[in-house]
Structure 1
Amino acid sequence: MKNTWQTIVGAGAAIAMIASLAGCGSGSASGKTELTFFANNTQDVYQPVIDAFEKKNPDIKIKFSTTNGSQAGYQQTLQTRISGGQLADVYVAPPEQLSDLVKNGAAKDLTNESFMSRIGDTNKAQASVNGKVYAMSITAWTNAYAYNKDLLAKAGYDSIPETWDEFIDMLKALKDAGVEKPYLEPKAGLGALVEGWIGYDSSKQSKSVDQQIGDGDSTFAKSYTKYYKQWAKLFSAGVMGSEVTGLADDQVRSEFAAGRLAVMPSGYWDVNTFKDAGINFAFGRMPMLHKGDTPYAPGAADSGYAINGKIDGAKLKAAESFLDFLSSKEGLKLIQDNIGLIPSTKNYTPDIDETFKEPYDLYLKTGNVYLNTLGWPASGRSALRAETFAQLQQVALGSITPAQATANLDTKLKTLS
């Protein structure tokens, strides 16, 4: 659920902003260099970062735009802007699209830029194509389970259990204790912890489960069905209903912030929201399938910041200055404090909020995070990931079985190859 599942603003507004960008020249009426910046988060969280940069660079003015919906919505708008010749000077580049961005000349090679010396190898690897780095990834994310301490206490629990079956038992106990909403997942994040299970199993093999699928050595039907069957226990046990197929990220988040929901998949980006809500909460582990399994969670390096490969002159210099600032200690602290992303660079050690200490220690400090899309064919990752959620929605509705869902994913994969 990430970032990818992070809150982002208005799809309708994006269309207007696209139009407004069409008239932008290389500078502004004030004589400053105008730098357009397109990101997958809201302006209110980015504004402190932009203000600090402009204060240090008074000859540069940032013109910000964003879009709304899931990460897939951002990716679609990004593609629309590229096709229409409206690509911003600096933009967030999802790893699923990076190969196509490079092919289209939309991303500048950043490999030898001085600020890239601050970036760790893992983040560089995710932002690389054919050995060159095209985006500056400066943060990392992991999913975790946000839980309401007061609601868990009603069933005699003070933390998230270690195994999936124990977790299901806890949710049953919560329901028996009068908690109306023990657990919810958003429709664009169904099967949130499945990637953690796959990540652990992949760690014991020379090639990840998803790489095997991507290379044609296995199929979704052979590899994923057992995981989807486990996830479907939520419905057979009666602890989550088919209503999740209609719930957006914000709706699930609002239920938790209102104190009505006991557990939800979340991440560090929600810390400030839940604190502002005044509820008694913490973030905990995502249960594994078996006792003794090493804890893994969905996660990866975050999408990086890319520079439009077609700009030059003052705009290019301004763009490089912006990336240099974003990866500086000041920029990283502002990003963590305001956007809720966790810096992951060589030059900065983040202070982690106490509520998120358990998942940070379990997943990010150990590197035990996993993102299934990184093993799939580069050109089809976005569509295939969206299809996983669509298939799990059908499982949630009882329209198909887990086995049918994985068979349908194999069919989808064939159309993308």
Structure 2
Amino acid sequence: MATNNETAVVIVGGGVAGLTLATFLNTANVPCIVLERTARHRIEVRARAGVVEARGVQMFERWGLADRLLGGPVAETIDYRINGVGRVFTAVADDGIASRFCTQQMLVNNLLKELIDVRGGDVRFEVADVAIRNKEGSRPHVSFTDAGGRHDIACDFIVGCDGSRGVSRSSIPDGVLTKYTHEYGYAWVAALVEAPVTGHPIMGVSDDGFVAQLPRGPQRSRYYLQCPVSDTPEDWPDERIWNEIRLRLRDDSIQNVIVHDRDITVLRSVVYAPMQHRNLFLAGDAAHLVPPTGAKGMNLALYDVDVLAQAFIKFVQNNDRTDLDAYSATVLPRLWKYQEFSAWMTDTMHDAGDPTLQGNVRQMMARARLDALFENPVAARLHGEYQRGTA
């Protein structure tokens, strides 16, 4: 027998986008329920990338949550290396707002504590068989099963924050959304290792391919190594990972340490438009993917739910859905701007590397683009604004 619930907003997906949206709505007393297929303890240990950029810090400050959710300020620097020779780029700004170090795992854990443990928010974990009904002229419903049986929730709106393979987007009829996609033609091995970043985060190119090292907490970092899209994790044993890191960074002093896990990430850009259908709204990876080179995935998701939260509050308080209807038109211009930045970063960092892939002319043009960041103040400022999310 199904049990029934009722709320204003059902959020499908309890990752960074869904939990942030629920926390924002909770601050304004807008009722919502979050449905998450994974157990809470598994979410808490799931390592994800991200630094909350300056625009995101301003957003959390506006909601009165920055000090409770975010870590301390982080230097906005990148060590761009070419064949082992590094130059540190610093994003200079005059707005007084610094990005804060906060991986997705840290932010999600803080959101779980704030939303559930402090505020008593309604998050349903380990749900399955989620089904969405979003018909014209009738109130939306979301049904699901959990250990207590089958449940049905009537609501005013549904937000899909359940990623690129979730049920939310797939529930939208064919022909409603336009899919824009671009494949870059290469992938990354992503290796989580027991070694901190000892200096600045590294984005490196060499004649042997791309390599990056980014922080993942005080004792760990994640290395990224360019590889063919056909590679599998089994193609990259520990010894090969460390040999390639030393080769591409031109640094034989790097020691092998524990590799906790490795995955293959295929680089692509994807956008679905519009990002809404009737009373269903898509946010984060459910609506768009960016290549990780630009480090914008989490921050674009945060922008989506910030816009949505304000629109929901306006509707609840004033019965005005103007901003909800304009959601796609509001967020898509920014999304395309940062898709372009991520594509610029991806093409530059990979073209500047192995010349057998794109040729030595593309290699030298890409290296000239990197030189401009250190030689041209206009290029440096624009790059810094994109890095900080204020462009």
Same fold (TM over 0.5): no
The TM-score, its normalising length taken from structure 2, stands at: 0.32
Return the structure number with greater helix share: 1
Q: Name the structure, 1 or 2, with higher relative contact order (CA <8 Å, separation 6+).
A: 1
Q: Give the TM-score taking structure 1 as reference length.
A: 0.30
